[in-house]
């Protein structure tokens, strides 16, 4: 599609909208979402529960993640092996992940096996047993993952960056915790965290694929409609974020590495902030588009100072981050950091050009249908609509919203969030 050509009605109609998304709140607080797709015989389920790491204490950080990882290790009806054998026997899958606010789940199966998949989901989130032997196996895996993280320069730079930008804020804490906090968690902690925090209020489930929404809703209501937890707490309120008032640099030494990783930037907009779309389009120009935008061109292509260099925008329910990441030879850390800061300065002084903005707008509009070609892509889109209260016609309105972003919008947004003398700089390497 040409950058100046408006979307046709037929193109827009192929995107999810209020006429083909079913949204139904169950009496116990679960929100059900669905969209039909009979072009494939499969079904995807995806969703989340309000039981993320915001509920963790500092002493047992990683408890929400540990609990989510342990759900499928055994239920009151089946043990670990029986649960996985049942899913594997029909080629189905189900997995869980943890974030700050929520525990996410996703699964897929053939349409005929949807009852089995939903039965398994309900069983493991309602009646997990956290068998001691499985808990210890999982603890060993989690500790191995943390040991690998401690030796990964990119991971440690990212973790340190979050600690600087989100100082005294829950977002400064890694969801997977630290070795000492994982060691402090016992089996009873998992059971108590589940008993207290897992419940239907705030839960969202999307079912997308070869099933009629009414049938899918009945199946969800059958396994989850009677779930109650009167003690389920409200999600903790987020404290205000205190922006940096100076540039702070922190180095993490990892002996024996041949590469250093740099993460440099500051805080960014939340997903629902009006600055989110201008920031996304500006970020595309700064360090995403083509060969990683201006950052990639200046630091990697022209100067040869980095193995990789790009910018990224992370936005969710609370404040996000806007950062530049680069992997460099340890001897080039200062040169690369200076060059990145120079590009950020140019970005906030001059903004983006009309051609750069038009190219990014065309890219955003053109790739939207591609992201919604799969059932999983549509399920993720439905969850975004619900999580951030975007409205059922958000993806129909998206092309016009993208085109409405002006050069001045991008410039003012960049100036709001990027301050060259108030940056967090995290470096991990030898």
pLDDT level of residue 11 (50, 70, 90 thresholds): low
pLDDT level of residue 304 (50, 70, 90 thresholds): confident
Residues 6+ apart with CB under 8 A from 64: 51, 52, 53, 55, 56, 98, 103, 175, 193, 197
Average pLDDT score over the chain: 94
CB count within 10 Å of CB 78 equals 18
Residue labelled with tokens 């630290």:
178
Strands 260-268 and 248-253: unpaired
Domain 248-429 CATH class label: alpha beta
DSSP letters of 371-429?
HTSSHHHHHHHHHHHHHTT--TTHHHHHHHHHHT--HHHHHHHHHHH--TTS-EEEEEE
Instruction: Please answer whether residues 270 and 318 qualify as being in contact, where contact means their C-beta atoms are separated by less than 8 angstroms.
Output: yes
Instruction: Please answer whether residues 281 and 357 qualify as being in contact, where contact means their C-beta atoms are separated by less than 8 angstroms.
Output: yes
> What is the tens place of the pLDDT at every residue in 44-62?
999 999 999 999 999 999 9
**What architecture (CATH level 2) is domain 17-224?**
2-Layer Sandwich (3.30)
Chain centroid, CA 207 distance in Å: 19
> What is the tens place of the pLDDT at every residue in 121-159?
999 999 999 999 999 999 999 999 999 999 999 999 999
Quote the pLDDT of residue 234.
Answer: 94
Instruction: Please answer whether residues 381 and 46 qualify as being in contact, where contact means their C-beta atoms are separated by less than 8 angstroms.
Output: no
Instruction: Please answer whether residues 207 and 34 qualify as being in contact, where contact means their C-beta atoms are separated by less than 8 angstroms.
Output: yes
Strands 248-253 and 42-49: unpaired
Strands 204-209 and 31-36: parallel
What count of Cα atoms within 13 Å lies in the side-chain half-sphere of residue 87? 20
Query: Which CA distances in Å does 348 have to 217, 231, 311?
Result: 49, 49, 14
> What is the tens place of the pLDDT at every residue in 223-274?
999 999 999 999 999 999 999 999 999 999 999 999 999 999 999 999 999 9
Query: Which CA distances in Å does 70 have to 76, 146, 178?
Result: 13, 17, 17
> By three-state DSSP, how is residue 182 classified?
helix
* Among 276, 309, 234, residue whose Cα is nearest residue 402: 276
Give the separation between CA 267 and CA 270, rounded to whole angstroms. 9
What mean pLDDT comes out for the span 307-312? 93
Quote the pLDDT of residue 4.
Answer: 41
Tokens of 361: 């707008």
Looking at the chain, which residues constitute the CATH 3.30.830.10 domain(s)?
Answer: 17-224, 248-429
What count of Cα atoms within 13 Å lies in the side-chain half-sphere of residue 26? 28
């Amino acid at each position: 599609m040409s950058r100046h050509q408006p979307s046709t009605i037929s193109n827009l109609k192929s995107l999810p909208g209020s006429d083909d998304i079913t949204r139904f709140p169950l009496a116990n607080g679960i929100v059900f979402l669905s969209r039909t797709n009979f072009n494939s015989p499969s079904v995807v389920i995806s969703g989340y529960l309000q039981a993320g790491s915001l509920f963790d204490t500092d002493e047992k950080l990683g408890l929400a993640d540990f609990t989510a990882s342990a759900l499928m290790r055994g239920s009151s009806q089946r043990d670990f092996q029986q649960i996985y054998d049942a899913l594997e026997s029909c080629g189905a899958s189900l997995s869980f992940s943890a974030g700050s606010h929520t525990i996410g789940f996703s699964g897929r199966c053939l349409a005929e096996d949807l009852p089995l998949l939903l039965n398994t989901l309900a069983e493991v989130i309602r009646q997990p047993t956290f068998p001691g032997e499985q808990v210890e196996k999982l603890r060993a895996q989690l500790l191995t993952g943390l040991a690998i993280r401690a030796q990964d320069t990119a991971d440690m730079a990212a973790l340190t960056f979050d600690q600087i930008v989100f100082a005294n804020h829950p977002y400064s804490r890694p969801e997977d915790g630290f070795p000492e906090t994982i060691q402090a968690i016992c089996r009873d902690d998992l059971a108590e965290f589940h008993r207290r925090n897992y419940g239907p209020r705030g839960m969202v489930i999307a079912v997308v694929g070869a099933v009629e929404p009414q049938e899918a809703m009945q199946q969800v209501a059958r396994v989850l409609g009677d779930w109650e937890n009167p003690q389920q707490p409200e999600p903790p309120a987020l404290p205000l974020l205190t922006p940096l008032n100076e540039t702070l640099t922190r180095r993490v030494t990892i002996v024996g590495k041949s590469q250093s990783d740099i993460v440099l930037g500051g805080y960014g907009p939340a997903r629902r902030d009006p600055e989110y779309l201008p920031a996304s389009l500006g970020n595309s120009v700064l360090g995403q588009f083509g060969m990683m935008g201006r950052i990639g061109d200046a630091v990697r292509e022209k100067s040869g100072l980095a193995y990789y260099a790009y910018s990224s925008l992370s936005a969710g329910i609370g404040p996000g981050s806007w950062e530049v990441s680069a992997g460099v030879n340890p001897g080039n850390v200062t040169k690369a950091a200076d060059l990145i800061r120079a590009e950020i300065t140019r970005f906030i002084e001059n903004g983006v050009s009309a051609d750069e903005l038009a190219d990014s707008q065309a890219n955003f509009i053109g790739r939207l249908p591609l992201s919604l070609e799969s059932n999983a892509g549509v399920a993720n889109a439905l969850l975004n609509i619900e999580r951030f209260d975007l409205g059922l016609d958000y993806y129909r309105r998206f092309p016009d919203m993208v085109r409405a972003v002006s050069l001045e919008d991008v410039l003012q947004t960049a100036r709001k969030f990027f301050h060259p003398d108030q940056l967090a700089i995290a470096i991990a390497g030898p």
